[in-house]
Amino acid sequence: MAEKVRVGLVGAGRNTRDRHIPGFQKVEGVELVAVANRSIESGNVVADQFNIPKVYGDWQQLLLDPDIDAICIGTWPYMHSTITVNALESGKHVLCEARMAATAEDAHQMLAASRENPHLVAQIVPSPLSFKIDNLVSELVNDGYIGKLLAIHVESLQPGFLDCDAPLHWRNERRFSGFNIMNMGIWYEAMIRWVGEAQSVSAMASINVPARKDESGNYTGITIPDHVDILARLANGAQARLSFSTITGLSAGNSVMIYGTEGTVKVDNQLNVFAGKRGDSTLEPIENPTEKQAFWRVEEEFINAIKGIEPVTRTPFDVGVHYMEFTEAVTRSWQTGQEISLPL
């Protein structure tokens, strides 16, 4: 490979523009050489803004470019599997935006393609939500502070009231978003960093606005819930309760409670960490020194993996497959009223 890693962008939405492009530009030995967006016109806007020399009309043309070593996929989830598999088969390294895919089957296809091309790097953009506290919470949970893990409660509740007039968003449409629901996958990925994976799922959910207007003013039926409650049995025997909602007016927002035989850990809406041991009367703030905090370095990790400097840790495809199976299991449980075992 040439000294520089030459990257093409497939899809250049807000996260690509705000995070990935600046992230790549900060890494030495990287050149952004091409972009394929939803149209030539929108691609030209991004190319002009970030001095990217080539604009392609579609992602297939971009993959044919022999000057491209790696691609960053920033499309909606329903395209992730198709583009990833084709990119790997074309000899390109892949950094794919989260969520990994639309369905667990799509995710498995991506993993299979990556295993058929082990010389290529395949990485999912990780959930950055908990970077600041991941190391601290993992230490409290796994280094004996709380004793044996008993339960974890995760809530991600938007404080606004039900809005029946909000326009249709692509995340409301299963054809684009697949089985992904709100920010459930983001929080579940964070949770498994602390306490491990679920082995069974039971869920109830509701759709409180059955249809929304699209850009043309036409109503489109909604099949993705705006409120969901999940009970899960973890592989280590503990229980998890997760709640996600966009209809919980005046709620406290995000919070995590982790309960063990000897201690309790709390994470509040501002990612402050509190903890207490048996015999304490209150939870007290826990210092989280900067040197213990993880931070966004996704593009650097991707390029370093290509150069053989470090392996991908956040997030490899096998972890993405698991959280996509969890995601799909939630909908299966909601639709059937049954507990769903993992893996699917």
The per-residue pLDDT for range 133-142, each reduced to its tens digit, is 999 999 999 9
Burial of 276 (0-12, 13-18, 19+ CB in 10 A): middle
Mean pLDDT of the chain: 97
**176 and 122 both lie in a single domain:** no
153: β partners? 241, 257
Looking at residues 80-93, what average pLDDT do you find?
A: 98
Share of the chain above pLDDT 90, in %: 99
Q: Is 196 left (phi over 0), alpha (psi -120 to 50) or beta?
A: left
The sign of the CA dihedral 214, 219, 221, 226 is positive
- 102 falls within a domain: yes
- pLDDT (0 to 100) of residue 2: 52
**53 and 106 both lie in a single domain:** yes
**178 and 229 both lie in a single domain:** yes
Looking at residues 229-258, what average pLDDT do you find?
A: 97
Q: Which domain holds residue 23?
A: 5-127+297-314
Look up the CATH number of the domain holding residue 65: 3.40.50.720
Task: Please say if the pLDDT value at position 119 is more than 90.
Answer: yes
What gap in Å lies between CA 272 and CA 286, rounded to an integer? 8
- pLDDT (0 to 100) of residue 3: 81
**60 and 202 both lie in a single domain:** no
| Number of other residues whose CB lies within 10 A of the CB of residue 173 | 19
**105 and 148 both lie in a single domain:** no
Q: Tell me how many domains the chain contains.
A: 2
> What pTM was estimated for this model as a whole?
0.95
What gap in Å lies between CA 302 and CA 196, rounded to an integer? 24
Distances (CA, A) of 216 to 167, 213, 228: 10, 8, 29
**167 and 225 both lie in a single domain:** yes
Task: Please say if the pLDDT value at position 127 is more than 80.
Answer: yes
Task: Please say if the pLDDT value at position 1 is more than 80.
Answer: no
- The count of C-alpha atoms lying within 13 angstroms of the C-alpha of 257, restricted to the half-sphere facing its C-beta, is 10
- Residue 46 main-chain phi, psi, to 5 deg: -65, -45
Look up the CATH number of the domain holding residue 265: 3.30.360.10
**167 and 30 both lie in a single domain:** no
Count how many residues are written for the chain. Answer: 344
Looking at residues 308-322, what average pLDDT do you find?
A: 97
Q: Are 28 and 90 in contact (CB under 8 A)?
A: no
Looking at residues 163-180, what average pLDDT do you find?
A: 95
Q: Given pLDDT bands bounded at 50, 70 and 90, which one contains residue 131?
A: very high
Q: Is 163 left (phi over 0), alpha (psi -120 to 50) or beta?
A: beta
Rg (alpha carbons) of the chain, rounded to whole number: 21
Looking at residues 210-228, what average pLDDT do you find?
A: 95
What gap in Å lies between CA 26 and CA 299, rounded to an integer? 9
- 319 falls within a domain: no
**270 and 229 both lie in a single domain:** yes
First to last CA, the chain: 39
Task: Please say if the pLDDT value at position 31 is more than 90.
Answer: yes
- Residue 128 main-chain phi, psi, to 5 deg: -90, 0
Task: Please say if the pLDDT value at position 109 is more than 70.
Answer: yes
